[in-house]
Amino acid sequence: MNTVDFQLRGLTLTALPSGALWDATHRALCVSDLHLCKSDRIARRQGLMLPPYESRETLDKLAADIEATHPQMVICLGDSFDDLAAAEALDDDCRQTLTQLQAGRRWIWIEGNHDPGPVELGGTHLAELQLGPLTYRHIAENAPSGEVSGHYHPKFALPGAGAARPCFLYDDRRLILPAYGAYTGGLRAQTPVLRDLFAPQCFAILTGRKALLTRLP
């Protein structure tokens, strides 16, 4: 597999090229910012009718990662739905996929700013989750110690090597996951609001064909 292993608080984690995080010790797969049903929310709020296939695309990608890792637990790290009303718009086909993916494993929805309440789609709803030395929550907090979060949709462009790609960012205290959903943009990793969350010594793992480890300037 074209993955990158790294350590946070003594725990070995694996960054998958898709943007998912794999914790082999706890057999947990974590994905952040799925933004399912984003097109429905855009139609409702802006009157634009974008191709309504992003939930299908995102769930297919997630199904492939689950197939490859066989997790005992799946953690959706917030903003899984573009808003709570959008969760109701998930079509039957996608609901069925989701039910199949949930079968035989723990499924945890962490609350995000887009989806602050529970959805009627199985699984457990939590504000945070503690797993070994790591705390999973949607938005990074001050002074963390072993925190895994999402929310910022980090991306990074390697100098001289083309467009920015969604990326994992980590230092010795925290990890921020890239957005996993199909219709998600990114925030450049050097943007102060994001960069300042990390120590000067900070690493990025780019997603794409292969996960690619590099250091943030």
Q: Which parts of this chain interact with other proteins (CB under 8 A)?
A: 1-10, 39-40, 43-44, 46-54, 56-57, 89, 91, 152-153, 158-162, 172, 179, 182-188, 201, 203, 206, 209-210, 212-217
Q: Which CB sits closer to other proteins, 107 or 180?
A: 180
Q: Which CB sits closer to other proteins, 42 or 73?
A: 42
CB of 124 to other proteins, least distance (A): 27
CB of 190 to other proteins, least distance (A): 11
CB of 104 to other proteins, least distance (A): 27
Q: Which CB sits closer to other proteins, 103 or 215?
A: 215
Say whether 215 sits in a helix, a strand or coil.
Answer: strand
Q: ∠183-115-205 over CA atoms, to 5°?
A: 50
CB of 23 to other proteins, least distance (A): 14
For 59, residues 6+ apart whose C-beta sits below 8 A from its C-beta are 36, 94, 97, 98, 101
For 163, residues 6+ apart whose C-beta sits below 8 A from its C-beta are 157
The whole-angstrom distance between residue 29's C-alpha and the CA centroid of its chain comes to 10
For 12, residues 6+ apart whose C-beta sits below 8 A from its C-beta are 5, 6, 24, 25
Q: Which CB sits closer to other proteins, 117 or 209?
A: 209
CB of 21 to other proteins, least distance (A): 15
Q: Which CB sits closer to other proteins, 95 or 188?
A: 188
Whole-angstrom Cα distance, residue 178 to residue 150?
Answer: 7
Do β-strands 165-170 and 203-206 pair in parallel, antiparallel, or remain unpaired?
antiparallel
